[in-house]
Structure 1
């Protein structure tokens, strides 16, 4: 499914959400373009597009927000603009993109102009539900390394009133020329905390201790369809070829201290040499000691569509198609503090489905029908749809989506 070199990944740095004051995004876009080194003409084009998108939020949208962020690969940086609103939606998107379409007393050329100015532009709109838009602006001339659409993308949003987010996500590629035999793979167990006094669950979470015969919440169980392996793989082996590693992290609590934990997890994940999800979780467990700790989930997508998964804490992970949502099992614990013996679970990522992971800043009250009309869109737009549908402003929120190359 994924040929070597075909998986395009870009890292993103969420800069600022503009909600209720989208007009402020124009000045921020100009500053951001200059900061990353876009030329004057390209920065002016970015600002014009942001101004059009912000004006549309003010004129048409209900509860609309605009996100500005930096996107980059190993050689170049650009700017991505994501617009999310909750209505009223567009009954005819192609018509809205045509120049000369008149809406609300304007000439209606905004979206057509945005599509021409951006290097990539995608939109999904549904009457009564709202509109999602993603526009990406790279330097000109367009570098060859950024052609195509990334296979993995995520989105984060801090709790209302905070400037930093305690949620994070990351992705990286990993090429295995000669896979190890199962007997050569290290049996995985949570690192021992020699001589360290483990803090109680109530101390870490701020909740009351469980008393009497009450039990801690049980881990989520896999609801994978029959015929797919859900048994733990004691010696998970990374297959040959160009695999993709994806991580979702929720630092305990919110605010700057949660952000420190999440960013430590991201740094360790990106710079580590782990080949399997459980190895990656182990490395982050060691790196997060001394922080608040975090819930973490890691998946590895193999070239043949196999998916290896290991999660600790309340990160929701699911394989989603237009008709089914299969929840992947995670273990209880806090990465960096308390962790039991890890297991990797093997699944298969459907060719026309996605892997979606999100923090508990999103409720689980969503299903395949909520994404059915979106699965052919880029991962960034699908992640934005999840955030709109299930996100809460009473907690940090994040979602990351991965697809297979076709």
Structure 2
């Protein structure tokens, strides 16, 4: 029995900053951002969008194709949680009107959370093939204005349906994991923005990739040439590019060309959206599926990394006619619909979004009708509404 991704949904807020504008405002040579980091735009979440609302919106794009009575599990991976106790997934479950019997919880391990959720969901469906599972990655990456990490911010969510006999990607058996207690990136409870040692984090990321990639190939008796594409967690595009260069080193010309071209296809959406933490790897998967060159049974490798740190490499095989389960036009419209912000407007929205609105003050949203948003708190209880 094959188990894997049957549906995939995507959402990003309706505002963005152009990296050219940001570079000029910060007195930086534009190519440092455009080439050195590899980003062209980044989505910006205002006070009315958070991990919950974005997760709801990403799932809405396919929920009408799902038999809700078969859903047995809902997991949300996020490091942008809205409560120290209550799972963000419970708010999502309520908005989606999932049955009360659905088991639901939240997973946190930096950017690894969604992958952890997918691994749990895969094993759950293998034991309960009559059920499906929804796994959401949803995050807002914030490092602060005029900081070194500012250019690697972003906001968005990816949601997947895991089930037996999937239509998009069948997850293969086996994985390679590696973890260590280190401090390359973290966000203390008293901080609304993350702290990061950028150079050290890049070194650890590349080290974890090499460890897990080599271990996976050894365990599965595979070579690099067996992969049609290799995907990476993309906190920014240049980070993944460095890992891909390690992967294609010493490969034959055909393998190198294939992996480089499919890597480029996997970065097209991330270049425009920015860092979405737990969902970044899966935004890359969506971008590859909709823009790459793939055939049935092609093997896609996936490297997931969460600072602190946890790394894992696993793989999946592309299903025949997978394109029919995607909606490239809608995903491209999602990105194209965004309004460009001036740097002054971006800075104002950024500062406002760091503050929790006063209790019993209702927020409004400038999103299009049909999207969910955070409407403030009522008696200290978070409220979510559909526009």
Query: Which has the larger Rg?
Result: 1
Whose relative contact order is higher, 1 or 2, with alpha carbons under 8 Å and at least 6 apart? 2
Q: TM-score range by the shorter chain?
A: under 0.3
Q: TM-score, normalised by structure 2?
A: 0.26
Please report the TM-score for the alignment, with normalisation by the length of structure 1.
0.26
